[in-house]
Structure 1
Amino acid sequence: MSSLKLFIHPLSQPARAVMLFCRANSIPHEEVLVDLVKGAQHNEEYAKTVNPLKKVPVINHDGFFLKESVAILRYLARTFPVPDNWFPKDSISQAKVDEYLEWQHLNVRTFGTLYFAEKYIVPRTTKQPPNEKRAANFLKNYITVLNQVETIWLKDRPFVAGQDVSIADLLAASEMEQTVLGGYDVKEHHPKIKDYLERVRSGLQPHYDDVHSTLNKLALKMKATK
């Protein structure tokens, strides 16, 4: 019997995308929590047996280990019987998914992660306040790429790669949801992205809310303490 394990944590944006893909497509799997908050990804055993890069997500499919979320999502879409919209077999449609994935890595993901890390991770790991000047610069760049999402990637289509939801949307949504923990909720500042995220969310319920539940609880807790 085939065995699929996901090494994940719900506060990892790419890990959430992989979790959401498997849950939404009813792919039998086991989720193995790697507690990033406690630094479990740095454990010698994890680095030795799962991922020497000390990150999540990672999958173990019948003894085949694969790291990096984009590679994982492409592999899962090709390996399991899922609807074609996720990673289309048609060359042009598939290229449109890849186009967004290649762009996002150095844009939405880069600046969103840098902002989130400076505002949320740094204070909790160093016990020092964030560098607000650096955070403001990251946020400025993040807003620029979000505006590009609205004016280019969502200009004339409901999803970032076309007319149907794809693996590109899982990664896009997971990144855009994350920065609420840094104090910037994209849904409050970018109405077109707000509508887009609701389309992704509504089409993937109840899995979308389940996968983002830890993030949303932390966000509510932060708002309550302000």
Structure 2
Amino acid sequence: MIYDFPDPTAPIRQGDIFIGIPRIDLSLKEVLVADEDGDRVTNWEELANQGPVKIIVPVRPVAAIVATQDCDAIRSPDITLCEIREFREIERKSKDTASAKGWKSILTQHARINQKWFYLPPNEQLGFSKKMGVDFLVTLRVPREDLENLRLFRRGRLNDTADEHFRERIGEFFRRYPYDEWYILDSDEFLEYKKEYKDVEPFPWQAS
């Protein structure tokens, strides 16, 4: 559909899709340190000025897409990827979407509004049985040479049309002006807004 399937020896490019990239989940409040006296739990504040330390962290394999530009992917010491997850987990408005009309609206109109994700349609060859999405909020960094040695984990890449769109979406996301869009609402309008976005807090002038 919107994918190409490069030769396994092809260089790594922006838009390459990998399966099984390690994601590390690290808590700064509870850091498990491995030292000569055995494992101990501390926090990062106590470790920050001690130099390199060995810690034990949980790691899990995830799907991810190369975000690093092509020129840097050739020579940079590290490659940045963005995690790929099921689309319904990334875009809350799609939670109960079932009809083609509903999906059409989300994948076109909402794609212009929400700059935090990039949609990836299902594809058996990639192993995507469901609608998937790139989450620009979750980035992973891996050594370039290590990733080059694991190109068998690359299942495909975006075709030229999709890659051009992907490149622009990344640019839009990182140069966007962050603001709380509900600040302009009056108190009644804010209450309606909060019904849909329950975790937001009112500004002082919106307090009823």
More helix by share: 1
Q: TM-score, normalised by structure 1?
A: 0.23
Greater relative contact order, per chain length (Cα 8 Å cut-off, separation 6+): 2
**Higher Cα radius of gyration:** 2
More strand by share: 2
